[in-house]
Amino acid sequence: MRLIPSRRASWLLFSAIALAAATWSTAEEIPAQAPGDLVRRAVANEINSTSQSAKYMFRERKETPSGSQTKLLVETRDAMVGMVVAYNDRPLNRDERQGEHDRIQRFIDDPRELDRKHRKEQEDGERVKSILKALPDAFLYEYDGTDVGKPGLGKAGEPLVRLKFRPNPKYDPPTRVEQVLAGMQGVVLIDAREQHIAKIDGTLFQEVAFGWGILGHLDRGGHFLVDQTDVGDNNWSISRMDLAFTGKVLVFKNLNIRSTEVYSDFHPVPADLTFAQGAELLKRQLATVAENQMQGGNVK
């Protein structure tokens, strides 16, 4: 599963990453392996895919109760580069575009800032690996029928197998990162041939407390939905993510995460692309968007 660091505002969101995968020839066939064994094999495959995945430029549209934001992003060998191109579907004006240029330029001008960004993304990646490695032991799985892939969900027309999951009562989370798994149950769709996750649909069926409730908690009823798809050459990426969580942080601060993120228009970029080169690539794309909007009379 491709992981996009800029989407990870906190470790709470990592609960939406990767559950299982399997191998069999058709959607009508039920695998001979126990579901837990399929999960263990899938975890190794997902971690390997993450470390070897190609780099892409793509579009992100995030919608929250306060409005929407559209960004262009590109993966580079140094860190993710992202530029806003629209607020509430309104293209940026000249001053806003310049502000985006200046923000990115600060990373280019100050290697220490870029290094901090890189380290943060690496830390996020390690948290994801912690979740992935926990999955075989954190949940109990059972087969629950079949489905078929479609645009934006797996591979169109390819068979998908549905697994139900629920917490394993014998699992003891080693850190706060894994604690959230103890209150989750739901369904995962698997592309059997490719051993990739096409959908995760999970719900908190009980409140999950952190640090005996002193550090905070997530309320019962929290929900996430993640779709993943093949973006080309057997490289898979998240295409949609819905998050709805409430709770408290450090007892006093309310937590309210509600967002829908859609990722599209994936285009491969060179694997050795630097952050500065990625920034230039996005600037050219942003200039093209602005020019098209000016021709339409929509940019001030």
**What is the SS3 assignment for 75?**
strand
pTM above 0.85, yes or no: no
Which residue has 């209150």 as its token pair?
Answer: 183
H helix or E strand, kind and range, residue 94 = helix 94-109
- pLDDT at site 211: 59
Position of tokens 């992003």? 73
Burial of residue 85 (number of CB atoms within 10 Å: 0-12, 13-18, 19+): buried
What are the tokens at 18? 């990767």
Closest CA to 107 of 284, 290, 280: 280
Please report the pLDDT score of residue 264 as a whole number: 95
Residue 42: what pLDDT? 72
DSSP 166-199: EE-TT---SSHHHHGGGGEEEEEEEETTTTEEEE
Model confidence pLDDT, tens digit, residues 105-141: 999 999 999 999 999 988 888 887 887 788 888 899 9
For residue 76, the model assigns a pLDDT of: 95
Tally of helices (H runs) and strands (E runs) in the chain: 5, 13
Give the C-alpha separation, 79 to 5, whole Å. 9
Regions of the chain with pLDDT less than 50:
5-30, 299-300
Question: In Å, what is the CA distance from 102 to each residue of 83, 98, 117, 118?
Answer: 11, 6, 16, 19
Instruction: Confirm if 84 and 69 have CB atoms less than 8 A apart.
Output: yes
